[in-house]
Amino acid sequence: MLGRMEQVYVLPASVFPPARDCLIPLEPELLISIEQQGFFMERAQAEEDPTHRQIIPYALLRYQGRYFLMRRTRGGGEARLHDLYTLGVGGHINPQDLTHPSTNPVLDGLRRELLEEVGVQHYTAQPVGLIVMSDTPVSRVHAGVVFVVEAQDEPRVQEVEKLEGRLATLAEIQAIYEGLEGWSRVVADWLGR
């Protein structure tokens, strides 16, 4: 963003349960706090501040009984993620995601990410859990609100220079488990329970 620093939606880290390497049940009170008590902070500051966590709506996308699985190509910007698979559609929540003052920032961010990343406009979304990890410097400053999204539109990767995507069964996902990103492993473990 030229001229301005990107702003991202955050909450104090103290609001979240202790970090775990599994999907954490999402208590209704915590979801309400995430939706109503967050605020925006400059991303550069948020990336270095472990006293806050950046909120990431993270959609496990299902279409006609299969899951949308993406692979990050070498055309993507983040070299650490090249060739890894992801089950999640999601990203940071920015002020421009809010369509009017009474909106839900998490659902607004989810809506934008589904449209931008996979072209999905018609869907239902059910929050199913929280990802709070501390195994890397990046994970210590992020928290994922995980949704199971049932898409009525067939998902298609929009940024084809950065991602490849296809529909996959749970067995196909399990077959490439070692190639999944960290958060996607958490979601795959939850699916396979």
- Measured torsion, CA atoms of residues 156, 25, 103, 148, in degrees rounded to the nearest 10: 20
Q: What average pLDDT does range 23-42 have in this prediction?
A: 93
Instruction: Give the pLDDT confidence of 140-173 residue by residue, as tens digits.
Output: 999 999 999 999 999 999 999 999 999 999 999 9
> Which helix H or strand E contains 56, and what residues bound it?
strand 52-63
pLDDT score recorded for residue 2: 46
Q: What is the mean pLDDT of the chain?
A: 92
Is pTM, for the whole model, over 0.85? yes
Distance CA 144, CA 55 (A): 6
pLDDT band at 59 (very low <50, low <70, confident <90, very high): very high
Q: What is the tally of helices (H) and strands (E) in the chain?
A: 5, 9
7-191: CATH class:
alpha beta
Question: Which pLDDT does position 97 carry in this prediction?
Answer: 86
What percentage of the chain has pLDDT greater than the value 70?
Answer: 94
Mean pLDDT score, 172-191: 96
Q: What is the arithmetic mean of pLDDT over 15-26? A: 95
Distance (Å, rounded) from C-alpha 89 to C-alpha 51?
25
User: Where exactly are the structural domains of the chain?
Assistant: 7-191
